[in-house]
Structure 1
Amino acid sequence: MRAPKESGSWFWDLDDVTEPGLEPALTTAARMSDVLSAHGLLDPQALEWSWFEVGKGGLGIDSGLSLLSRSLGDEELADEIRGCRPVGHPRAEMTGFVVVGSGTWFDAGGTARSEGRLVELLVSPDSIGPSAELSVHHDVWATCDFRGNPHPAVYARNAPRLAAALRELDAVLGVEAEPGEPTYFGMPKAYGLEDAELLDGRGPDLTDLM
């Protein structure tokens, strides 16, 4: 199951390590996606973002661009994204963009399974301060599933992969990630999720909000 809110997130403040703007943000996204792809966590397939205007806020307009015939390193990608600006809003600016794709997780028997949006990568080109955020919404990274059942084999096959990717992202970006705020579905720590609190051998049942 996929939780409606993240079970863990990690934030990188890139103000001192990269320039603001769309081109540097795409370069950051490409570097991070290469790391995540090497760990089998993200195969980039599309970009998604929203539009806003200074002084007005969000416009309620979303855009997307397929990556199936191009890569994040494509030099024409930035101009194609700008070309998606709503015609009726010439001063519209884009929010941070999400790199959408599928990733691989392993079940208790070791079988590899493909899952859409296994991780989500958000990169912001904000002129005030560029940043990036990685979030996860599934229970394969946690010591218990969302029903509270301990699943040590699933945890052992997946959590170390996420931890390794987070460490490598720190090294590639040159800055350590800050764990996000706890949510109903999990509490992030430096390189993974905090262990579930057990009562009579079971974790909390979180499916009431699923």
Structure 2
Amino acid sequence: MELMSELLRAPEAVGSWEWFVDTGENADVFHCLSTLAAVAGILDRRGLLKVESVEVCWEHPQSRGPDAHRTVPVAGAIDTPEYAQRLLASRPRDAPDARVKLLRTRGGGAWTDARGNVHTEADLVLLETMPLFEDVSVEAAVHHDVWAHHAFSGVPHPEVHAANAPRLAAALKEVESTLHAATNPGEPTYFGAVDGYGIRAPEPYEIVDGLAPDLTDRLA
């Protein structure tokens, strides 16, 4: 049985991983959707992400206007010409020169608590993709502590880590092999740093009386 949950969420990533895919031509929204679909499919098979919508960030290359964000619901496959046209149709009407800056997924994923109960959490894993000349970049980011050795409060939760981190690591490895692209770790943040396909454990000197640093002071 899956239960809804509301995990504590960090405003910055606990960990992120990025890949660059060479398209061999000028990358566009179709290349982005194809890459996004491949990665999302891997995460979906492992219960980590069920894409419900895609957020489009439109930028204005000819002006200094702020980026515009539009959300396009998903009712089927996202790597189709029909869905690409729906995304392109979300271009701001007053900005015909606007172009796609990035695409970001929205959707739920499953995590397991210390008692073995499975919960659904919104945006458990976030995917972002953007066109970069002939490359498409795609990033997977996590903002919750279920992937780390300790909770945000600093309390160790080995059962939670063991129930969730290996599944994420396996998915990231599959993304790497599927895209035939090296996995690049994201920059460390206040809430965590990447170690391979997981979140770095605290250094021994950071542990005091069995507790890691308390990070809850910066949680929203």
TM-score range, shorter chain: over 0.9
Corresponding position of 1:125: 131
> How far apart are residue 15 of structure 1 and its match?
3.0
> How far apart are residue 18 of structure 1 and its match?
7.7
Instruction: Evaluate the alpha carbon distance shift between residue 141 and residue 34 of structure 1 in structure 2; reply closer, same or farther with a 3 A threshold.
Output: same
Provide TM-score, normalisation by structure 2.
Answer: 0.90
Corresponding position of 1:38: 45
Helix, strand or coil at the partner of 2:22: coil
Partner Cα separation in structure 2 for residue 52 and residue 16 of structure 1: 22
Q: What letter corresponds to residue 46 of structure 1 in structure 2?
A: S
Question: Which piece of structure 1 moves more, 70-79 or 55-64?
Answer: 55-64
Partner Cα separation in structure 1 for residue 167 and residue 145 of structure 2: 14
> Per-residue CA shift, 1:46-97, capped at 9, x if unaligned?
0002211214355342101000x22213330111111111111110011110
Q: Does 1:12 align with 2:19?
A: yes
Unaligned runs of 5+ in 1: none
Matches within 5 A, 1:1-210: 1-15=8-22, 20-57=27-64, 59-67=66-74, 69-127=75-133, 129-197=135-203, 198-210=207-219
The answer (yes or no) to whether the contact 1:178–1:190 under 8 Å persists in 2 is no
Instruction: Evaluate the alpha carbon distance shift between residue 168 and residue 17 of structure 1 in structure 2; reply closer, same or farther with a 3 A threshold.
Output: farther
Q: Size of the alignment, in residue pairs?
A: 209
Partner Cα separation in structure 2 for residue 18 and residue 41 of structure 1: 31
The answer (yes or no) to whether the contact 2:14–2:144 under 8 Å persists in 1 is yes
Helix, strand or coil at the partner of 1:157: helix
Partner Cα separation in structure 1 for residue 152 and residue 65 of structure 2: 33
Helix, strand or coil at the partner of 2:146: coil
RMSD: 1.6
Instruction: Evaluate the alpha carbon distance shift between residue 54 and residue 123 of structure 1 in structure 2; reply closer, same or farther with a 3 A threshold.
Output: same
Unaligned runs of 5+ in 2: 1-7
Q: What letter corresponds to residue 60 of structure 2 in structure 1?
A: E
Helix, strand or coil at the partner of 2:94: coil
Instruction: Evaluate the alpha carbon distance shift between residue 36 and residue 135 of structure 1 in structure 2; reply closer, same or farther with a 3 A threshold.
Output: same
Partner Cα separation in structure 2 for residue 78 and residue 16 of structure 1: 17
Percent of aligned pairs sharing the same letter: 38
The answer (yes or no) to whether the contact 1:102–1:116 under 8 Å persists in 2 is yes
Instruction: Evaluate the alpha carbon distance shift between residue 173 and residue 51 of structure 1 in structure 2; reply closer, same or farther with a 3 A threshold.
Output: same
